[in-house]
Amino acid sequence: MSSRGTRELEELSVLLELSQKINISTDLQDILNTLLDILSRKMGMTRGTITLLKPYTDDLLIEAAHGMSYDARKRGHYKLGEGITGKVASSGKPMVISNINDEPRFLNKTKSRNELDKKNISFICVPIKIGKETIGALSVDKLFQKDISLDEDLRLLTIISSMVGQAVKIHRAINEERDKLRAEAEKLRSQLSEKFNFTNIIGNSSQMHDVYVQIHQASKGNASILIRGESGTGKELVAHAIHYNSIRSAKPFVKVNCAAIPAELIEAELFGHEKGAFTDAHQQKKGKFELAHGGTILLDEVGDLSMPTQVKLLRVLQEKEFERVGGIETIKTNFRLISATNKNLEAMIKDGLFREDLYYRLNVFCIFLPPLRDRRTDILLLAEHFLKTYAEENNKKINRISTPAIDMMMTYHWPGNVRELENCIERAVLVCDGETIHGHHLPPSLQTSTQKERAEDISFAEKVATYEKDLIIDALKATRGNISKTAELLRVTVRVVGYKMKQYNIDYKNYR
């Protein structure tokens, strides 16, 4: 067989193997690396690169390379029109350089060729196109036998570049569709679970009216929000209300529970990772900040972030940009941050566990959610709301809560706040076999509390002390923590009120 016939068979073999790879793989990086490997094995290529145009910029970055080190790849960063590669990508026309040593436009940015090698190297660079749009370039050092003309090399590479262009097009379409479906699914899940407007937050107490005003104010802007309060007070519900009443309501709402993610994985979860960045990173993954582009991200339990992660979070808040784990590409994003915590961040700052500069970035607008024990007037409203919800869910006709059961709920201290009350009513609905929730339907923790309070072995002094404490607390609630008005309401002096508050460890600030 003639050398020309052999050449044609080799070309067909290359094109067949590449087309088979494109048909079975949706991983663009895998396809590009396979292409360069095929050219090296079957056509004698010594060095080659595939550069792609970064979307919405004039930067060309090396996506795949053969015959050069990692450091050399990092140096291969071109602008449109810069050097041979930039010129080809800018003009959309191929270029053939017989001897790169005689070509002043050849920049050798990767520094992968020494001066001795350059004297014997020919260079071919062809554009990669999607339709009429040039998206990158495929370049190789004299990859074939010496008796093969560069025109034949150019013809083969032009065919291959068109196949690469189609692979890139398919890859981008798949990624766009996948991202779109994920965002729509997340949005639908969020919206179906609740409508997330102000009416979904139950409460008529003065403290909750203050919260409603703050939610309304926060919804109008883009400032960072810090929601504080004990566990179970409804911080996530408030975050939803802010987002869905803001100008970003049509964009994604992304939630991250910082306490639920292991410290070694939190960065990959927030910022995403590249393929091969760590064990089990089999493909590229977008981070939560990238998915929240245009919308809102909620960092729940932000006080649990490690110090190294806090440093990176601070940079994202300041610069609105980050790199994926294992990546070198800087990604810009537009988001609004809402963070929530039940921890004392000020104390953590003093103990060196939380960065002060990050604290001020998070705490632009603070909303404090009061514990349920400080808004007892809302207990019955919440209980009736949960009763209706779970009665319907369990197909039961339960109309009311008995007075003794209400008394038990009103005297309980609710350490788990609204979440504990919800669980309490859900349990009561499950065990109730009539139309009324009675005291024995409530959890043992509530019954034990009431029994202790009513136990006959309580001394006279303890009963008096309990009565005095309740009187002072009720008065403080009525006057919103004003000690002078509390003394006037109880018809005693301010000095007596102050003495009793100290005796019973009552902090008037909790009732403002």
The CATH number of the domain where 468 resides is what? 1.10.8.60
User: Is 415 in the same domain as 452?
Assistant: yes
User: Is 63 in the same domain as 142?
Assistant: yes
Name the least confident of 20-29, 284-293, 300-309, 338-347: 20-29
Which pLDDT tens digit goes with each residue over 467-489? 788 788 878 877 888 889 888 88
What pLDDT, on a 0 to 100 scale, did the predictor assign at position 423? 94
Boundary-marking domain end, from 318, 347, 370: 370
Give domain status of residue 189, yes or no: no
Which pLDDT tens digit goes with each residue over 85-137? 889 999 999 988 877 766 666 666 666 555 445 556 778 889 999 988 999 99
Whole-number Cα distances in Å, 364 to 294, 336, 358, 360? 20, 12, 11, 7
DSSP annotation of 69 reads -
- Which is more confidently placed, 450 or 236? 236
The mean per-residue pLDDT over the stretch 7-20 comes to: 83
Name the least confident of 7-16, 128-137, 155-164, 347-356: 7-16
Give domain status of residue 406, yes or no: yes
What pLDDT, on a 0 to 100 scale, did the predictor assign at position 453? 47
Indicate whether 454 pLDDT > 60.
no
Indicate whether 257 pLDDT > 80.
yes
Band of residue 193 on the pLDDT scale cut at 50, 70, 90:
very low
CA 27 to chain centre: 24
Rounded-to-5 percentages of helix, strand, coil across the chain:
55, 15, 30
User: Is 386 in the same domain as 277?
Assistant: no
Which amino acid appears at position 403 of this protein?
A: T
What pLDDT, on a 0 to 100 scale, did the predictor assign at position 450? 43
User: Is 165 in the same domain as 207?
Assistant: no
User: Is 383 in the same domain as 364?
Assistant: no
The mean per-residue pLDDT over the stretch 459-471 comes to: 78
User: Is 309 in the same domain as 389?
Assistant: no
HEC letters along 184-201: HHHHHHHHHHCCCCHHHC
What pLDDT, on a 0 to 100 scale, did the predictor assign at position 277? 73
The CATH number of the domain where 248 resides is what? 3.40.50.300
Instruction: Decide: residue 37, CB within 10 A, 0-12 exposed, 13-18 middle, 19+ buried.
Output: middle
Structure-block tokens of residue 147: 């008796």
Indicate whether 425 pLDDT > 80.
yes
Look at residues 154, 291, 300, 141 and name the one whose alpha carbon lies nearest to residue 236: 300
- Which is more confidently placed, 139 or 105? 139
The CATH number of the domain where 46 resides is what? 3.30.450.40
**How far is it, in rounded angstroms, from Cα 342 to Cα 138?**
54
Angle at 362 between CA 201 and CA 185, to 5 degrees: 55
What pLDDT, on a 0 to 100 scale, did the predictor assign at position 198? 60
DSSP annotation of 443 reads -
Angle at 453 between CA 451 and CA 457, to 5 degrees: 90
User: Is 234 in the same domain as 108?
Assistant: no
What pLDDT, on a 0 to 100 scale, did the predictor assign at position 324? 86
- Which is more confidently placed, 196 or 181? 181
Q: What is the signed CA dihedral for 330, 190, 306, 360, rounded to 10 degrees? A: 80
The mean per-residue pLDDT over the stretch 169-196 comes to: 73
Band of residue 2 on the pLDDT scale cut at 50, 70, 90:
low
The mean per-residue pLDDT over the stretch 250-263 comes to: 88
Give domain status of residue 183, yes or no: no
Which pLDDT tens digit goes with each residue over 399-408? 888 878 888 8
Boundary-marking domain end, from 345, 370, 395: 370
Instruction: Decide: residue 193, CB within 10 A, 0-12 exposed, 13-18 middle, 19+ buried.
Output: exposed
What pLDDT, on a 0 to 100 scale, did the predictor assign at position 109? 62
User: Is 360 in the same domain as 415?
Assistant: no
Give domain status of residue 131, yes or no: yes
Give domain status of residue 181, yes or no: no
User: Is 500 in the same domain as 403?
Assistant: yes
Boundary-marking domain end, from 352, 370, 388: 370
Name the least confident of 231-235, 244-248, 279-283: 279-283
What pLDDT, on a 0 to 100 scale, did the predictor assign at position 57? 84
What average pLDDT does the structure give for the chain?
84
HEC letters along 297-363: EEEECHHHCCHHHHHHHHHHHHHCEEECECCCCEEECCCEEEEEECCCHHHHHHCCCCCHHHHHHHC
User: Is 363 in the same domain as 223?
Assistant: yes
Give domain status of residue 316, yes or no: yes
The mean per-residue pLDDT over the stretch 229-237 comes to: 92
The mean per-residue pLDDT over the stretch 422-439 comes to: 91
Give domain status of residue 150, yes or no: yes
Band of residue 449 on the pLDDT scale cut at 50, 70, 90:
very low
Give domain status of residue 192, yes or no: no
**How far is it, in rounded angstroms, from Cα 303 to Cα 359?**
10
User: Is 361 in the same domain as 459?
Assistant: no
- Which is more confidently placed, 111 or 71? 71
User: Is 229 in the same domain as 257?
Assistant: yes
Band of residue 144 on the pLDDT scale cut at 50, 70, 90:
very low
What pLDDT, on a 0 to 100 scale, did the predictor assign at position 262? 85
Domain count, the chain: 3
CA 178 to chain centre: 17
Band of residue 350 on the pLDDT scale cut at 50, 70, 90:
very high
Domain with 307 in it? 197-370
Backbone angles phi, psi at 455, to 5 degrees: -65, 140
